[in-house]
Amino acid sequence: MLSFTEPRTNLLEYPDWLLDQNGRQRTVKLEAAREAGKRLIAKLAGIDDRDAAAELTGAEIGVQRSAMPPCLPGEYYWTDLEGLAVKNLAGEPLGTVDRLIATGANDVLVLTAGGERMIPFVEGEIVRRVDLDVGEIIVDWEKSFWE
């Protein structure tokens, strides 16, 4: 499995996982886990052989929001940014956050706006304000950058 937590082993701190496979969700208990290179290997309760484990291929792993620690000021869970409207400093709408991508150098906002558009998530320089209450992100980014 791949983990999108930072560091990736943080996923192992959650004893209950939500597995989402083809739109069906179920909760499973983590019994044991370890690192194996860039991956994690986990033993889940009730999954006792390779065939049962193979059936979980492609399932997405999540955890209950209530199990996650609250964010510090200026920190955000990616899921909180998805769906936010993005506007530039002039107030022009640039699109809606569809998802984020980790690139190593910095995260990237992927917007839907007549096709996919990308904006580096560089706080202070490009991302000027994230307002979860209003549901928007203000960026120093011109529409002409995509033309």
| 2 inside domain | no
71, pLDDT greater than 80: yes
What are 75-83's contacts with CB under 8 Å, separation 24+?
Answer: 76/130, 76/132, 78/4, 78/107, 80/132, 81/109, 81/130, 81/137, 83/135
The residue segments making up the domain with residue 88 are 78-146
List pLDDT tens digits, range 3-30: 567 787 888 899 999 999 888 999 999 9
**CATH number of the structural domain spanning residue 31:** 2.40.30.60
Range 43-48 average pLDDT: 94
Residues 87 and 110 in one domain: yes
Residues 18 and 56 in one domain: yes
**CATH number of the structural domain spanning residue 133:** 2.30.30.240
The structure's pTM equals: 0.75
1, pLDDT greater than 80: no
Total of domains in the chain:
2
